[in-house]
Chain A
Amino acid sequence: MTPPPATADRAVRWALYRRFAGSGRAPRIAEIAAAVGVTADEVRACYRRLAAERLLVLEPDGESIRMAPPFSGVPTQHRVLVAGRSYYANCAWDALGVVAALGGEGEVVSRCEQSRAPLRIRVTAGGPEPVPCVVHFAVPAARWWDDIVFT
């Protein structure tokens, strides 16, 4: 029996995030369908609802994951290393967000966006170790989702 949408959405989202966390990459739709026990079309429908709630950002094909915040489904300038595994994050905030989501210790490997000088931020149980850097928010909170990739 097909689960009600809210239950299916939660199961799909949970399966998606567990696989992202376990592999460092966006899972394929068939993996999620098999894990949850639904069809690929049902997963696509869940993805559409989750994207409408701004919990996912999909590619135009409607099934490839561009963002499952804080994880990025595509390579970016923000890499995160946690427990020997490598992830991509969507932005500076999400780079620390990957560390926060995965237990609070790890390393962000990014860059100064203007000079392109490498930037490494180690995060321990006490938080990020001091590094000379600042974070610039180019877009007001009310406009973040006008173009979330730019944000």
Chain B
Amino acid sequence: MAIEDVLSSKGRVKILKILAEIGELNTSRIARRAGLNYATTIRHLQALEKAGLVRHKNFGRIRIFRFNEGNPRARIVKRLIDLWE
């Protein structure tokens, strides 16, 4: 996924900002905080995960997302958000 595709969506940037601020969060709370509907949030999260920026863990039915600290791009994006905010 090209950088312009990742960062051109307001929803995706919002989600990245939330994860940068909170650390780890489940899908519905990300959706609520970002003001997006559940399906859109999932779509964005899948795209971000495909781009290697976020990763998830499952606890039973609960899916918790966080920045993919193992990926250098993710670390840089998080740092950019931290600096910006």
Same complex for A and B? Answer no
Q: Which residues of B contact A (CB under 8 A)?
A: none
Q: Which residues of A contact B (CB under 8 A)?
A: none
